[in-house]
Structure 1
Amino acid sequence: MDNKTQKNYGTALYTIITVFFFWGFVAASNGIFIPFCKSHFHLTQFESQLIDFTFYGGYFIGSLILYFASQASKVDILNKIGYKNGIIAGLAISACGALLMVPAVHSGSFIFILVSFFVIAIGFSLQQTAAQPFVVALGAPESGTHRLNLAGGVNNFGALMGPVIVSIVLFGSANDAVAKVVEISSITTLYYALAGLFLLVAGFYAISTLPKVTSDEQLEASPKSNGPLVVVILGFLMVLAAQPLSRLTGIAEANFVYSSLVIIIGALLFVYLKKKENLNQWGAMQYPQLILGMIALFTYVGVEVTIQSNLGALLNLKEFGGFHESDIKPYIALYWGSMMVGRWTGAVSAFSLTKTTKSVLTVVVPFIAFGIILLVNQLTGTDVSNLYVYGICVTVLVIGFFIGQEKPAKTMAIFSTLGVIAMIVGLLNTGEVATLAFISGGLCCSIMWPSIFALSITGLGKYTSQGSSFLIMMILGGAILPPVQGKLADTQGIHHSYIIPAIGFCYLIFFAWKVSAVLKKQGINVENIAAEGGH
């Protein structure tokens, strides 16, 4: 590879990493946008969580469309059109969604806004499916993990900046005493800028000479797995149909919302428990570690999203400070920043370092990341002195990393247990202690994606690619658990509704134990599995 090509690939890598920034930026911004829409449109907590439902549902539907189209045509469609074209198409779709947000905001229609979020997410789904293998291909294969970790770090930084920037766009700076009540039209500038950036990056890719990234893997058919996926789709649609069905039947809306969760988990448990014949027809779903992992990824993403999506309503309670939606920015930023703290710390192990250097960085890196979170908030005029005590939670994270010893199952068990403890502390207390306990759930979630992925696809052989596709579909958890918690909040109170992430962390403890036993039965040594990459 000559210097000119290396430089071109370097430019391509830095440009593609901006896409990772967008994913984090928009997803984390929902933590500010949800309470804002709830107040502006006078929504119930359940209705406000439909923002997450449509956003993460877009990821799910986008993955499904690619999967079913490829299965029907017996051709890997994304592989055929090329990953470069896939990213360009994804950016163009997201740009359309961002531009759609402008008339949606001015129309005053919440449903129109939801449609716009859905279109943006469909584009993100295509980008994400194409971008990750592209990042690996832009350089030497042995350093592919390092590039993914760099991209993941940028994604986390986008998640940190999203709440801060969106809060400033909506409400002005923390020192601005005027902008407490705003017109929703102030958001249009942000979406014009986002649309412009999406198109700018797409244009760069269109004119750039980039390596052709393709896969030689044969598409594996799995007709038996289509049935459970259809049932999962029905469960997803149940949330959307909850209000109309309730009016039609007179049955409480909550029953339909909760049943969506039962249908989805039930479909996956059916596959797990069913005695399978003609194993090849089940494809990747013949492996119990994958089914357990699909439920785990669904649970983890749901927990990660629902903790912060309901945080605005929690902080609005008098016993939690009675915060206006314009004042919750530092807490939402701290939550997503906690994900950055954990992932940056986890990224240390991806580099070839001496044991001593690695140990030092495992202690230093999380506090540097924590310092960046405080600095970003401080620079936007927010008093962060009340957040210093969160350093205790960061210290616990560091101890957890040392005990976990870079073993996915062990690390998952430790951080899932810490997650349960954090949620219980939050449920039994109020005020600052409970708030920071709930926020520390972000630290516990930070290691989940690579750990679950590593444990779930181990031993899948030729079905590894298909198994990865099924796992990515389980981002669906971010669409289902927030509305479920929102409905529980409407009936039992927002504070008590945090039992949902507590139960989620309990399943993740079970997964770490059960998947270890399953893999051991298959003759696979769990201690030798390495967690790489991240979401």
Structure 2
Amino acid sequence: MSKQNESVLNIKDSASVSSKIATNTGALSVLVLVFFFWGFIAASNSILIPYCKEHFKLTQFQSQLIGSAFYGAYFAGALVVFVISNILKKDILNIIGYKKGIIYGLLISVIGALLIIPSTNANSFNAILISQFIIALGFSLQQTCAQPFAISLGDPSTGAHRLNLGGGINSFGTTIGPLIISIFLFGSISNPTESSVSNINNLYLIVAAFFTLVAIIFAVSKLPDGKNNEAFEQSKKASGILLLITGIIVAASLLGQFTAVPSYILMIAIIVLLLIILFQANAQAKKNDTGWGAMKYPQVIYGMIAIFVYVGVEVTIDNNLGALLKQPGYFNATGLKENESSLFISLYWGSLMIGRWTGALSVFNLSKNTKMIAGVIVPFIAFGVILGVNHLKGNDISSLYAYSAWIVVAIIALFIGQDKPFKTLLVLCIMATIAMLIGVFTTGKMSVYAFVSGGLCCSVMWPCIFTLAIGGVGKYTGQASALLIMMILGAAIIPPLQGAIGDTSLGLHQSYLIAAACFLSLAFIAFKLKNILQAQGLDFDKQVENSSH
């Protein structure tokens, strides 16, 4: 790896960088392949969840355990890397490199995809959960490596733009994933079929083959290894905190299994205890930062909370939407069937694609006027892709045309954000909060469009949060990345919380108040991150503004 890229891995105040570092476009092009498959599989769970709920006769809370198994693996995988690195006194990812880490992660996902086959043949929901866990375990290693790898392939201040590009490719996978899964399970609208075990088996055989192919592409590609020469500093206290969080989650799971404590109480308790532990850890690190590693930085702590909430709300909007659309009286008098609801699930994940494709424009060296024009055209090109793939499936796309009004609102929000991490995050959080409230207090297409527009708002939040959270942490960048990836744990907690509330008398429709609360809390965290970084002499919004002149 070049000395230039080695220096980039130490993401410090980019004001210290004398000249802007060019993006390694060749390496970035290969890297974004893995982003596609994360999206394809994650969004496919949106169809698998209502299918399993019906097939195994589950409650809404129980059906959300698919997401818990999937996203819980992100926490478990990143935790293993973090703890073992501390035991060995060496950063595992620095030993193997980001490139090999991604390859190993892909091979683990291959094993999980192949295990789906005996799981479905045994008609075992628990076995399916284990298989999903292993697939996502591989994803955890891939994401822990890919996020800082993408940021390292260019100037630190534009790291969010490269993540947006990867996110745009990821969102194409999320757009077509639900449609392909729906076709495998239920056929097309014009030619519906009975779902069968063989359909699922064939699908995951194909998935395993693609994972293997991408691993081979990475192995033969001339990518930098993705290592740095910074000395590793142990973080025993941080490891202890993470193991404590793990213990709390396990204890809550056991309580849910063997007691009558309501599930939503347990989910809320996990969230509250998580916040107390993280804030207490930061308070102790301020007194003595020895042994805390990246957790001694307050931006990392708030970044962890932000990722927990962001990923949780992104997933919960969608994972509970399929069941809501089936409820008579919500969208229409009879409710939608699974192969019909895939239209709106695809639109949700496609909405993330719309925003991420637009956000990715900043990667390219466009003039101000060209970029402004593209910022209006590209969202509708992405919308055209959504309409096209749904049309090919046989869906009636005429019901989606009115959604273009929400896209216009999102375009305005992105223009206001001006590619600035804090400003963009804040504007989108406000828009999303309003949208969720509209969705809760209306029904029919208005409500569905409001909930689905959450995808437009979530689209570029991840890179904004990630860039702010690892700003100024220097040699702790890899460790901070692992901590942030662990907080994908939010998608294992928040969707079941909403599902459990949906099982109560409040109902699934009103349970979307959870999503509104999440976006509101993200707006607060955005302010905290900005203030923390400014106190350290970092202002990414100003740096982006200066680099555009």
Q: Could you state the TM-score of these two structures normalised by the residue count of structure 1? A: 0.91
Q: 2:241 aligns with which of 213, 218, 228?
A: 228
Select between 260-269 and 270-279 the one with higher mean Cα deviation: 270-279
Cα distance in structure 2, aligned partners of 1:157 and 1:184: 26
Q: Secondary structure at the match of 1:493?
A: coil
Q: 1:381 aligns with which of 383, 394, 408?
A: 394
Measure how far apart 1:75 and its partner are: 1.0
Partner of residue 530, structure 2: 516
Measure how far apart 1:31 and its partner are: 0.7
Cα distance in structure 2, aligned partners of 1:405 and 1:213: 30
Kindly report which structure 2 residues correspond to 1:246-261, keeping only aligned pairs within 5 A, or say none.
246=259, 250-261=260-271
Structure 1 counterpart of 2:173, one-letter code: G
Q: Quick check: 2:148–2:481 contact (8 Å CA) kept in 1? A: no
Kindly report which structure 2 residues correspond to 1:297-308, keeping only aligned pairs within 5 A, or say none.
297-308=307-318
Cα distance in structure 1, aligned partners of 2:445 and 2:315: 21
Residue identity over aligned pairs, in percent, reads 50
Q: 2:88 aligns with which of 66, 70, 73?
A: 73
Partner of residue 6, structure 1: none
Q: Quick check: 2:425–2:461 contact (8 Å CA) kept in 1? A: yes
Cα distance in structure 2, aligned partners of 1:190 and 1:291: 39
Cα distance in structure 1, aligned partners of 2:78 and 2:354: 29
Measure how far apart 1:239 and its partner are: 5.2
Partner of residue 511, structure 2: 497
Q: Secondary structure at the match of 2:291?
A: helix
Cα distance in structure 1, aligned partners of 2:474 and 2:26: 34
Select between 303-312 and 345-354 the one with higher mean Cα deviation: 345-354
Q: Quick check: 1:454–1:530 contact (8 Å CA) kept in 2? A: no
Measure how far apart 1:240 and its partner are: 3.2
CA shift in 2, pair 1:403/1:210, >3 Å: closer
Partner of residue 94, structure 1: 109
Cα distance in structure 2, aligned partners of 1:288 and 1:418: 27
Q: Quick check: 1:238–1:260 contact (8 Å CA) kept in 2? A: no
Partner of residue 480, structure 2: 467
Query: Unmatched 5+ residue regions in structure 1?
Result: 2-8
Q: Quick check: 2:148–2:477 contact (8 Å CA) kept in 1? A: no
Measure how far apart 1:277 and its partner are: 1.9
| CA deviation map 1:155-192 (0-9, x unaligned) | 1111111001000001111111x42x422442110011
Q: 2:439 aligns with which of 426, 435, 453?
A: 426
Q: 1:390 aligns with which of 403, 410, 414?
A: 403
Partner of residue 104, structure 1: 119
Alignment of 1:213 with 2:226, yes or no, is yes
Q: 2:187 aligns with which of 159, 172, 176?
A: 172
Kindly report which structure 2 residues correspond to 1:60-459, keeping only aligned pairs within 5 A, or say none.
60-132=75-147, 149-176=164-191, 178-179=192-193, 181-206=194-219, 211-238=224-251, 240-246=253-259, 250-274=260-284, 276-319=286-329, 320-321=331-332, 322-459=335-472
CA shift in 2, pair 1:343/1:13, >3 Å: closer
Partner of residue 42, structure 1: 57
Query: Unmatched 5+ residue regions in structure 2?
Result: 2-23
Cα distance in structure 1, aligned partners of 2:274 and 2:241: 9
Q: Quick check: 2:28–2:150 contact (8 Å CA) kept in 1? A: yes
Measure how far apart 1:145 and its partner are: 7.5
Cα distance in structure 2, aligned partners of 1:445 and 1:235: 29
Partner of residue 500, structure 2: 487
Q: Quick check: 1:242–1:257 contact (8 Å CA) kept in 2? A: no
Measure how far apart 1:412 and its partner are: 1.2
Cα distance in structure 2, aligned partners of 1:314 and 1:442: 17
Q: Quick check: 1:283–1:463 contact (8 Å CA) kept in 2? A: yes
CA shift in 2, pair 1:431/1:24, >3 Å: same
Structure 2 counterpart of 1:227, one-letter code: G
- Report which structure shows greater RCO (CA 8 Å, sep ≥6): 2
CA shift in 2, pair 1:367/1:105, >3 Å: same
CA shift in 2, pair 1:194/1:525, >3 Å: closer
Partner of residue 525, structure 1: 539
Structure 1 counterpart of 2:101, one-letter code: G
Q: 1:57 aligns with which of 72, 78, 87?
A: 72
CA shift in 2, pair 1:46/1:234, >3 Å: same
CA shift in 2, pair 1:437/1:238, >3 Å: farther
CA shift in 2, pair 1:106/1:505, >3 Å: same
Select between 230-239 and 463-472 the one with higher mean Cα deviation: 230-239
Measure how far apart 1:18 and its partner are: 3.0
Select between 428-437 and 134-143 the one with higher mean Cα deviation: 134-143
Structure 2 counterpart of 1:234, one-letter code: G
Q: Quick check: 1:74–1:219 contact (8 Å CA) kept in 2? A: yes
Structure 2 counterpart of 1:483, one-letter code: P
Measure how far apart 1:238 and its partner are: 4.4
Indicate the RMSD between aligned Cα atoms, in angstroms: 2.5
Structure 2 counterpart of 1:267, one-letter code: I
CA shift in 2, pair 1:18/1:482, >3 Å: same
Cα distance in structure 1, aligned partners of 2:51 and 2:432: 28
Q: Quick check: 1:520–1:526 contact (8 Å CA) kept in 2? A: no
Measure how far apart 1:468 and its partner are: 2.3
Cα distance in structure 2, aligned partners of 1:273 and 1:142: 29
Measure how far apart 1:131 and its partner are: 3.7
Cα distance in structure 2, aligned partners of 1:17 and 1:452: 19
| CA deviation map 1:200-222 (0-9, x unaligned) | 33344445665443222222222
Structure 2 counterpart of 1:226, one-letter code: S
Aligned pairs, how many?
A: 519
Measure how far apart 1:133 and its partner are: 5.3
Structure 1 counterpart of 2:460, one-letter code: I
Q: Quick check: 1:45–1:487 contact (8 Å CA) kept in 2? A: yes
Cα distance in structure 1, aligned partners of 2:405 and 2:243: 45
Q: Quick check: 1:15–1:201 contact (8 Å CA) kept in 2? A: no
Q: Quick check: 1:342–1:447 contact (8 Å CA) kept in 2? A: yes
Structure 1 counterpart of 2:516, one-letter code: A
